[in-house]
Amino acid sequence: NAGVTQTPKFQVLKTGQSMTLQCAQDMNHNSMYWYRQDPGMGLRLIYYSASEGTTDKGEVPNGYNVSRLNKREFSLRLESAAPSQTSVYFCAGALMGYTDTQYFGPGTRLTVL
């Protein structure tokens, strides 16, 4: 039982490059989330998926796209990376969502040069 896993752990991109951050969970979560953590800003929600087949914008969705590939996997794509997207990205899952505990992955540290 791996919980919530994220790949890669670290990534360095050049401005304009694209990449996909992968997230998978084996906890039977219906809801999945992508957050970014920046110094002094806390955790900000980028996108979330309340259930398989649905996705919705969070607080800071610009510059990102997501795919809920199936119940287990929720990926985050940067089409044209910018230095402002340098951050630590966390994926999380919850059984249903509202009032449910979120379980977080270990994070991906992304640097955009």
Which residues contact other proteins (rule: CB under 8 A)? 4, 31, 33, 35, 40-45, 48, 50, 56, 58-59, 90, 92, 94, 96-99, 101-107
| Least gap, CB of 74 to other proteins (angstroms) | 13
Element at 25 (helix H, strand E): strand 19-25
| Least gap, CB of 31 to other proteins (angstroms) | 5
Q: Which is nearer to other proteins, 17 or 45 (CB)?
A: 45
Cα–Cα distance, 76 to 67 (Å, whole number): 7
Structure tokens at 27: 């906890």
Task: Please check whether residue 36 is in contact with residue 91, taking contact to mean a CB–CB distance below 8 angstroms.
Answer: no
| Least gap, CB of 56 to other proteins (angstroms) | 8
